Amino acid sequence: MKTWTKEERYRVLTSEQEIRPLYDEIRGSDYRQHYHIQSVTGLLNDPNGFVLHNGLWHLFYQWCPWGAVHGLKYWYHTVSCDLVHWKNAGVCIHPDTVYDNKGAYSGSALPTDENLFLFYTGNHRDDDWTRKPYTCMVELDKNGKTIKHPPLFGMNGNYTEHQRDPKIIYNEQNGKYYIIIGAQTKDKKGCCIIYISDSYKEGWHFAGQLHVPGFEDFGDMWECPSIERISGYDVLIFCPQHITLPGRGGNIHHNGYLLGHMDWETLTFYPDNTKFHVLDFGFDSYAAECAANPNDKNKATLVAWMGLPDASYPTDEENWSGCLTLPRELRVRDHRLIQQPLDRLRALRGNKLNTESTDLLPRVCEAEIICRGGDLRIHMFAKEDHSGGLTLTYDDNKKEITIDRSKMVKRFNIQNGESHSRPLPKGLFHLRIFIDRSSVEIFVNDGDAVFSTRLFPTESENRLCIDGDASVHMWELDRAVEDSFII
Ligand code: FRU
């Protein structure tokens, strides 16, 4: 595996011709996705600035052009009219000022009557590599032209250098704007710090640290925080780092949420109970970002990076890595976030397959499985003799569902654990499974739990077998994301 020098990772992209050969090399890969947003070249990590503006959905991602490595980050732009079909729109934020000289890091978007405003962390480093993060703003007009404004504010000296990922929120009640930032206290505790202003363009000042009773010592850094209003609840979504959680193997980076109530006067988020809910029970999900649903204020749409920090993937050898999850509609049911695939995804359904007459599993498809009770075992990507593959097992005695990818030929991130379980107290009755060329997303019981996982099947791993009382419907899915070279 290639070892990257700092110079290689932080090389500035000066012309698209510099990465054209990389694109030509990877476009033929068997693992390029058909309906998931993926890196145009190099590495994709967090989704950023997910928003509807003037009838168009915008979704940006953290992008390092040079290979499967974290280095100089750009905001790469994709657009969609329906949240299903996506087009590449080229680089939007270049790290080209002193404030973001070592990366335009993650952030969020604010739609206004005129332009779209993007808020991000300028990852500045001095020559001796000391980091000084800035909160920056870029204005994007309808012709795709960007104006970089001077930074809104710099680093807060009462916290460590880990201050990033601004989420802008407008509070209709008091007419104020807030920016929430993921941070680390000087005694190495993860937290959020909050800035306030009457105008999103200027006048920002530090309002205080977010109090979250019961979560004062929960990981050493909180990345990508946000507070969303969903089904009458406030939801604090964040990524606590360097902490292990029961049932999450050796993984130390998590993405989860607390349901509760946000008091903007005292800057306190009161969780309804002490439960930190994991957002996704699969192996690869991080840095989720939500877009408000303008038609229904009780709902939001979530998308996440289908990947993890400090992890490597089989396509690293092909010089690219990373894709996003499908957008999911969020609601609250039984005191939990429910994540459902968008209805409009059904438009991608093509040929209906007869699963009675063949056990071949297409590489791009959707399966809907109605479970009639009792134990169930689903083998995806099994070999011809039905051995190996990814297994999804439901144990009716234990009322628990387990995903296990340890029997795949290409194994990776083994240290994080290869099997994850989730209790299903009410049993298993429904599954919707979305398979793309290198990922699987499983929606359990109408969105009650989701498992998102990257997977890199070899040619011989192409069978599906199901043991248990269930009926299966399966469709091939059309391509929905263009893999075009637009820089
Ligand atoms: C999360 C993260 C963010 C940061 C970005 C850099 O994966 O580390 O905190 O802004 O990635 O790409």
Whether 1 shows a pLDDT value over 90: the answer reads: no
Bridge partner residues of 91 (DSSP): 76
The CA–CA distances, whole Å, from 406 to 339, 367, 412, 421 equal: 26, 22, 9, 14
Q: What is the pLDDT of residues 16-47, one digit of tens each?
A: 999 999 999 999 999 999 999 999 999 999 99
Q: Catalytic amino acids?
A: 46
- Domains of the chain by range and CATH? 6-341 (2.115.10.20), 344-477 (2.60.120.560)
* pLDDT tens digits, one per residue of 400-420: 999 999 999 999 999 999 999
pLDDT at position 366: 98
Q: Is the dihedral of CA 360, 481, 83, 104 positive or negative?
A: positive
Q: Rounded to whole angstroms, how far apart are CA atoms 366 and 356? A: 16
* Arithmetic mean of pLDDT, 2-11: 96
pLDDT at 164: 98
Find all residues with CB under 8 Å of 364, minimum gap 6, and list them: 34, 35, 435, 436, 437, 476, 477, 479
| Integer Cα distance of 290 and 109 in angstroms | 10
Tell me: pLDDT of 100 over 80: yes
Tens digit of each residue's pLDDT (9 = 90 or more) over 344-386: 999 999 999 998 889 999 999 999 999 999 999 999 999 999 9
CA distance linking residue 161 with residue 451, whole number of Å: 33
pLDDT digit string, tens, across residues 226-276? 999 999 999 999 999 999 998 888 899 999 999 999 999 999 999 998 899
Whole-number Å distance between alpha carbons of 330 and 467: 31
User: What's the gap between Cα 455 and its chain centre?
Assistant: 16
CB distance 105 to ligand 1 below 6 Å: yes
Evaluate: CB of 412 within 6 angstroms of ligand 1.
no
156-180 tens-digit pLDDT: 999 999 999 999 999 999 999 999 9
At 295, the pLDDT band (50, 70, 90 cuts) reads: confident
Atom of ligand 1 nearest to the CA of 105: 10
pLDDT at 248: 86
For 85, 89, 204, 321, the CA distances from 482, given in Å and listed in that order, are 8, 10, 39, 17
- The CB of 163 under 6 Å from ligand 1? The reply is no
Closest CA to 441 of 216, 432, 472: 432
Q: 377 CA distance to ligand 1 centroid (A)? A: 37
What does the mean pLDDT of the chain come to? Answer: 96
Q: Which residue has the tokens 């959707």?
A: 366
Separation between Cα atoms, residue 368 and residue 174, nearest integer Å: 45
pLDDT exceeds cutoff 90 at 286? yes
Residue 261 structure tokens: 């109530």
Looking at the predicted structure, is the pLDDT value of residue 421 above 80? yes
- For the chain, what percent of residues have pLDDT higher than 70? 100
Report pLDDT for 274.
Answer: 82
Secondary structure element (H or E) that encloses residue 24, with its range: helix 20-26
What ligand 1 atom has the least distance to the C-alpha of 223? Answer: 9
In this predicted structure, what is the pLDDT of residue 250?
87
Distance separating alpha carbons of residues 202 and 113, to the nearest angstrom: 18
- Alpha-carbon span 77 to 62, nearest angstrom: 9
> What's the pLDDT band for 296 if we cut at 50, 70, 90?
confident
Whether the CB of 106 sits within 6 Å of ligand 1: yes
CA distance 49 to 59: 6
pLDDT for 143: 92
Say whether pLDDT at 60 is over 80.
yes
Q: How far apart are the first and last CA of the chain?
A: 27
| Residues in Cβ contact with 207 at an 8 Å cutoff, skipping those fewer than 6 apart | 178, 194, 195, 196, 267
Mean pLDDT value across residues 197-218: 98
| pLDDT for 223 beyond 80 | yes
* Residue of 60, 102, 224 with the most ligand 1 atoms within 8 Å of its CB, for mutation: 224
* pLDDT for the residue numbered 273: 86
Chain centroid, CA 425 distance in Å: 27
Average pLDDT over residues 74-97: 98
pLDDT at 293: 83
Residue type, 104: A
**Checking phi first, is residue 165 left (phi over 0); if not, alpha (psi -120 to 50) or beta?**
left
What is the band of 299 on the pLDDT scale with cuts at 50, 70, 90?
A: confident
C-alpha span between 194 and 468 (Å, rounded): 51
Average pLDDT over every residue of 206-215:
98
- Residue 419 Cα to ligand 1 midpoint, Å, equals 26
- The CA-atom distances, in angstroms, between 271 and each of 133, 143, 179, 228, 276 are 29, 42, 20, 13, 9
Q: Which residues of 133-149 are buried (b: 16+ CB within 10 A; e: fewer)?
A: bbbbbbbbeeeeebebe
3-state helix, strand, coil in the chain (%, to 5): 5, 50, 45
State the burial class of residue 425 (Cβ atoms within 10 Å of its Cβ: 0-12, 13-18, 19+). exposed
Q: Residue 352 in contact with residue 418, Cβ under 8 Å?
A: no
Side-chain-side CA neighbours of residue 132 (13 Å): 12
Separation of CA 105 and ligand 1 centre (Å): 6
Q: Pick from 442, 399, 390, 395: which is nearest to 285 by CA? A: 442
CA 190 to CA 154: how far, in whole Å? Answer: 19
Cβ–ligand 1 contact at 121 (below 6 Å): yes
pLDDT given at position 322: 98
Give the residues across from 338 on adjacent strands.
331
Amino acid in position 133? P
